[in-house]
Amino acid sequence: MTADRGADGEDDPAPPVVLKLGGSLITEKSRPETLDEDALDAACDAIAAALAEGTVDRLVVVHGGGSFGHHHASEHGVSTSAGTHDPAAVMDVHTAMTALNRAVLDRLHDRDVPAVPVHPLSLSARPDGAEGDLDLPLSSTATMLEEGFVPVLHGDGVATADAGVTVVSGDELVVELAAGLGARRVGVCSTVSGVLDVDGDVIPAIDSFDAVAEALGASDATDVSGGMAAKVRELLALDAPAYVFGAAGLESFLRGEAAGTRID
């Protein structure tokens, strides 16, 4: 894959691919702080292969919380809208999420993927204190990309005006990264094979929320950040095409092919 060229022949940074690995995919969501080792290994294999083969040249990975983040967040009553001023609560969520982040990084390093962590708690804020409001400076992530690294972000706590610390979901991070870095494609890989209609079939393409609103219910496991409906709303707002798919779709997505539900 060659970098995009500007009109004057200068190298422009190639638009990255932004990939979220859902917490439900890489952890056992119903058992606190437990990895789904097989699923995480398979996802890391697919990422390493795509980078080695050059079907993806610039990649940002975001992972969700699964059984590392959500249990702590809900225990402390913290969500994307409800905050805490208790440092022990902040540390419980952040420590669990950085442990998961480390587990993801270790497996990527085992496969020679030049992955480096980016911890949103240290970087981002909700200066207006509102859900959906997120200030995520992208200079470090963009520079890491230009220097050949694969930044790996994660759902985390986020400093929030008048609320203390709330949760920032991986989906919010994906949206900010995709918009701010001008992503080429966005992928959200989870345990479902796409966005499902009322009969449980994958909806191939979504271009408006109203058309699918009825089919989108809440996540059935503990999920402090909104489930599929919130994901679809956020992904619809992006310029880049987004795909929601299951583990079986990851290789196709990374090859630049269709996977699961296309949202744009």
Q: Give the footprint of ligand IPE on this chain (CB under 6 A).
A: 22-24, 64-66, 69-70, 73, 93, 97, 155-156, 167, 169-171, 223-225
> Measured between alpha carbons, how far is 223 from 163 in angstroms, rounded to an integer?
20
Minimum distance from CB of 198 to ligand IPE (Å)? 22
Q: Whose Cβ is closer to ligand IPE: residue 167's or residue 181's?
A: 167
At closest approach, how far in Å is the CB of 97 from ligand IPE? 5
Shortest Å distance, C-beta 221 to ligand IPE: 9
∠ at Cα 66 (215, 155), nearest 5°? 95
Closest CB to ligand IPE: residue number:
64
- Residue 260 beta carbon to ligand IPE: minimum distance, rounded to whole angstroms: 15
Dihedral sign from CA coordinates of 6, 17, 152, 228:
positive
Sign of the alpha-carbon dihedral angle for 235, 47, 105, 21? positive
Minimum distance of ligand IPE from residue 200's CB (angstroms): 20
Q: Which residues contact 143 (CB under 8 A, 6 or more apart)?
A: none
Q: Of 52 and 218, which CB lies nearer to ligand IPE in the complex structure? A: 218
Q: Among residues 16 and 65, whose Cβ is nearest to ligand IPE? A: 65
* Beta-strand runs (E) in 82-199: 115-117, 125-126, 150-154, 156-160, 164-168, 185-190
Q: CB-wise, 93 or 206, nearer to ligand IPE?
A: 93
Helix (H, G, I), strand (E, B) or coil at 191: coil
In three-state secondary structure terms, 55 is coil
Closer CB to ligand IPE, 70 or 184, in the complex: 70
